[in-house]
Structure 1
Amino acid sequence: MAQPNIIYIHTHDTGRYIEPYGHPIPTPNLQKMAEDGTLFRQCFNAAPTCSPSRAALLTGQYPHQSGMLGLAHRGFALNDYSQHLAAYLARNGYETALSGVQHEAPFDRRDELGYTRFLEAEPYDADLARARLKARGWKGHEIEGGMHTIGDRAKVPAVVRFLREKHEKPFFLSFGMVSTHRMFPKADADINPNYLTPPAPIHDNPDTRTDMAEYATMARCVDDCVGEVLRTLKETGLDRQTFVFFTTDHGIAFPKMKCHLYDSGIGVALIVQRPDNPTAGTAVDALVSHVDLYPTLCEVAGLPVPDWVEGTSIVPLLDGTAHKVRDEVFSEVTYHAAYEPMRCIRTERYKYIRYFDDDMDLVVKPNIDDGYSKQFLMRNGLLEAGHDPKEMLFDLYFDPAERENRVDHPGYQDVRTELSTRLESWMTQTNDPLLNGAVPKPEGARINRKRGLEPSDADWEE
């Protein structure tokens, strides 16, 4: 087979809360994609925060290596944009196109990413979209459809036109959606919150069920867009020469999920569809990291893996010739809206998390997106809630929900020592700046006060 086309379909803040992972979320097209393709049950990001996660996937490096330690629209950037997957593929004969959102470059620097085509003239700018909605009277949840739904659906015709073109070269298409990123609009009428359960560990009450219904509405929008892409591939015959993968950056934007190193924050969907797939219709339980996708796509395209890449190709898992490609995954947070440095190692059975800041007596509320679930917790003690311990150890066989910290349990001290040593070794090998103390923000970067209440533009740290 000649070099295949590659389509990277990605969302904000979706985690694994879609139908193929057992949740009652109306995503039939993603369910069909999983049934026709390969579903990865244990894929994890390299960072449960937006830009660092995407940068890891698209450079094959951990955020502290690539330089993307915080949010691109707040002043963080890659050290070297020539390492971006789009740039690498473009240098090696691919047509590279972007539709919708990207979060690896500030909005005025997207030309540096390596895309040879942009399917929309204007990049997605969350601040601009929010300002436009407020000018139309937006006050929270009143607008039907919402800015994200409108934006994602509006991108689909350009994607379909691109796919129907005659292409002289293989193409790499990045199609980014924001529907499942807050702010959510009202739920669709047929998604009744009375019959939904909010995601664990969120308390079950009318507010949190409404929150989940609104998320489900946005997930349906994502699914509709995915369906249009997959139908177009089939109608044009491109499905016989195209490698498609669907994933997201991190967990859903609920407390204890996004921006946290629990599995609810670092666990992500990964579905792969490709021609003549020997593992079609199967679920893979092997550990996979987002940093593994860059070398995977290099192998699929018949290209050498650059020496900066940290990941391992998952082609053996896709071919069914291996049962695992790694023994552990690592994930990290340095900055999101506020500074909250932490690292983790996760094996099949255990998770070890360490925090690296002494100012950790309270929950860092700016790193929790606003919404009904956060508001409920704010009314009931989140303002005074203590932060997680500096070290946490979970036995995922007996405690998959990560509720019982065994870091001081006498029976787990050998595990604690081993995982702590492995985490420190990884940090040393990858030159993690946290080993040298607090990591300063780049000059001009904007972050929130740790003791603020929300990720607000009006609450910058001085």
Structure 2
Amino acid sequence: MSERPNVVLVHGHDIGRFLSCHGRASVPSPNLEAFADGAVVFDNAFSTAPLCTPARSSLFTGMSPHVNGLMGLAHDAWRYRHSVRTMPEVLSRYGYDSALVGLQHEHPDPTVLGFGEVRGMGFLPRAWPVAEEAAAWLQDRPADGAPFLLTVGMWEAHRPWRPEDYEFADPTMVDVPAFLPDNEHTREDLAGFHGAIRQFDAAVGHLLRAIDAHPVRANTLVIVTTDHGAALPRAKGTLYDPGVEVALVIRPPAAWGTTPARTTTMVSHLDILPTLVELAGGGPRPEWEGRSLVPDLRGVAPDEERELFFEKTYHDRYDPIRAVRTGRHKLIRNFADGPLLTLAKDLEESPTRRGMGDAHLAPRPALELYDLLADPAERTNLAGEPAYQPVLADLEARLDSWMKATADPLLDGAIDRPAPASRLLDAQPDLPARAG
């Protein structure tokens, strides 16, 4: 059996950390809770962006969206830059076979992403067909074959949440997060959300049982994560924590004998590719912005302060925002005028929107500073408070330094939409060399 572990990477859609294993007790997710009980749970994990394509681009490249090129949605012509290499392309250099089953959101044509095999052409309509197809793919794998990367993408829990598709929860029993108004409209919305998560959880449970029944179980690393925050106002589409927080549960191979654990160390989707490459026998690369989580998985989390950077550029409209987060503070810089919250079409039409009033339409400030320990809901903007000016100056300097080091095109002014992709050119040009 190869010392290089097989990898099964399962990613859900628009869920954030809305799972019982991450403290959402009312969310029906027993299969993932049982999985987490035997794994390493990262309770402080984040995406780089609050939107589907940009967030997934970082997961699969180890680079921020403006670095890899996917600053907006793939179906709006955003493309990886020429020199970017995706997770399956990188791991193939270490002898890995790869397959994609189900959803991806990096390119309209999933066959160009570097996978050796694509089942369902990158999309299957519901979680159960995806899980069944992934389990069938696994059954065809010999236990002593080449190591593999199996990426399993599920639509759930993207809106819409319809009663004909999902078994809704009891609205009176859902837990309403602090960033939403607790009223009948929000509870109606969350009841449908919980129903979609229930189906996601059941399907993932089916796949996990297939893995555990296969001889590859002893040497297979299983990652379950979500792309970005939940599809709720003040979450998806924002750089507040509910917009960029993700579930992240990793179960090392059984042969490791790892003790299940939870960690509050701040980690990022940028860390996944460096982790997998280290396990494959490789080392870090200068273009990767994350770090390997192998020490965390072996119970030796680094004892150091870390900063994470977040960004939004395009969704269904131009909305340029950048942010930096430490363990204690967050600075959000809004680069264009607009309302406090810009709601995508699915959020604007949601039941929650009907019951939240219009306070979010007030003008946004240029700078937002939050003390995350005193104000975890990010409600009190401290950017104008004299006592916080040293913190503000420090975080502004960090954000500026990161934007310059990564050649963020926003430094040169407004970012245009890309030209429509053509048959002859389907990539974005590379960025200039990094400063310093």
| Same-fold status (TM-score > 0.5) | yes
Distance between the aligned counterparts of 1:400 and 1:179, measured in 2? 27
Q: For each residue in 1:401-444, what CA deviation from the matched residue of structure 2 results, as whole angstroms up to 9, or x when unmatched?
A: 11111111111111000011001001111101111111111013
Are residue 179 (structure 1) and residue 156 (structure 2) matched? yes
Query: What stretches of structure 2 of length at least 5 have no aligned partner?
Result: 422-436
1:221-260 pair list within 5 angstroms = 221-260=199-238
State the distance in 2 between where 1:204 and 1:265 align.
Answer: 19
Match runs of 1:322-361 below 5 Å: 322-324=301-303, 327-357=306-336, 359-361=337-339
Question: Does residue 1:119 correspond to 2:97, yes or no?
Answer: no
Alignment of 1:440 with 2:419, yes or no, is no
8 Å CA contact 2:333–2:367 kept in 1: the answer is yes
Partner Cα separation in structure 2 for residue 277 and residue 213 of structure 1: 39
- Which of 80, 99, 124 is matched with 1:78 structurally? 80
Report whether the alignment pairs 1:292 with 2:292.
no
Q: Describe how 1:41-56 pairs up with structure 2 within 5 A.
A: 41-56=43-58
Which amino acid counterpart does residue 163 of structure 1 have in structure 2?
L
- Give the whole-Å Cα distance in 2 for the aligned partners of 1:235 and 1:159: 14
Q: After TM superposition, give the deviation of residue 82 of structure 1 in Å.
A: 5.3
- For residues 114-147 of structure 1, what are the alpha-carbon distances to aligned partners after superposition, in whole Å with 9 as ceiling and x for unaligned? 0111122x4428xxxxxxxxxxxxxxxxxxxxxx
Counterpart CA distance in 2 for 1:430 and 1:305 is: 17
Distance 1:257 1:37 in 2: 27
CA distance in structure 2 between the aligned counterparts of 1:333 and 1:351, rounded to whole angstroms: 15
CA contact (8 A) 2:237 2:344 kept: no
> Is contact 1:345-1:423 (8 Å) kept?
yes
The 2-side partners of 1:407 and 1:196 are apart by 34
State whether structure 2 residue 269 is matched by structure 1 residue 267.
Answer: no
Structure 2 residue aligned with 1:132: none
In the TM superposition, residue 204 of structure 1 has moved relative to its aligned partner by: 1.3
Aligned mates of 1:6, 1:80 — CA distance in 2 = 26
Aligned position for 2:300: 321
Given that 2:168 and 2:192 are in contact with CA atoms closer than 8 Å, whether structure 1 keeps it comes out as no
Shift of 1:325: 6.0
Which one-letter code corresponds to 2:278 in the other structure?
Answer: E
- Structure 1 residue 215: deviation in Å? 0.6
SS across alignment from 1:93: coil
Q: CA RMSD of the aligned region, Å?
A: 1.9
Match of 1:301 in 2: 280
Rounded Cα–Cα distance in structure 1 between residues aligned with 2:211 and 2:10:
13
Shift in Å, 1:87: 1.3
Change (3 A) 1:263 1:363: closer
Q: CA deviation at 1:81?
A: 7.0
Structure 1: runs of 5 or more not aligned? 126-147, 446-462
Q: Return the offset for 1:112.
A: 1.4
Structure 1 residues 91, 313: closer, same or farther in 2, change over 3 A? Answer: same
How far apart, CA to CA, are the structure 2 residues paired with 1:164 and 1:75?
36
- Which residue of 2 is the match for residue 451 of structure 1? none
Q: Note the alpha carbon deviations across 1:305-349, whole angstroms, 9 max, x for none.
A: 343212111111111223446511111000111111001111111
Q: Distance in 1 between matches of 2:167 and 2:139?
A: 34
CA distance in 2, matches of 1:114, 1:443: 23
Cα separation, 1, equivalents of 2:193 and 2:390:
41
| CA shift for structure 1 position 9 | 0.2
Deviation of 1:164 (Å): 1.3
Residue 154 of structure 1: which of 96, 118, 129 is its match?
129
Which residue number in structure 1 is paired with residue 432 of structure 2? Answer: none
SS in 1 for 2:262: strand
Secondary structure at the residue paired with 2:344?
A: helix
Deviation at 1:362, TM superposition (A): 6.3
1:376 aligns with 2:355: yes
Answer yes or no: is the 8 Å Cα contact 2:166–2:196 preserved in 1. Answer: no
Q: Tell me, in whole angstroms, the C-alpha distance in 1 between the residues paired with 2:34 and 2:178.
A: 26
Match of 2:61 among 56, 59, 62: 59
The separation in 2 between residues aligned to 1:26 and 1:83, in whole angstroms, is 37
Quick check: 2:130–2:153 contact (8 Å CA) kept in 1? Answer: no
Structure 1 residues 226 and 325: CA distance shift in structure 2, 3 A: farther
Identity across matched positions, percent: 36
Per-residue CA deviation, residues 275-308 of structure 1 (Å, 9 max, x unaligned), is: 2456532111111011111101101111233432
Greater Cα shift, 229-238 or 298-307: 298-307
Matched residues in 1 for 2:251 and 2:140: separation? 21
Partner of 2:197: 219
Q: Scaled by the length of structure 1, what TM-score is found?
A: 0.85
Counterpart CA distance in 1 for 2:117 and 2:84 is 16
In the alignment, the residues of structure 2 paired with residue 175 and residue 322 of structure 1 have an alpha-carbon distance, to the nearest angstrom, of: 27
1:454 equivalent in structure 2: none
> Aligned AA for 2:289?
E
Work out whether residues 251 and 268 of structure 1, in 8 Å CA contact, stay in contact via their aligned partners in 2.
Answer: yes
Mean alpha-carbon deviation: is it higher for 28-37 or for 153-162? 153-162
**Number of equivalences:** 414
**Partner SS for 1:228:** helix
Query: Does the 8 Å contact 1:48/1:259 carry over to 2?
Result: yes
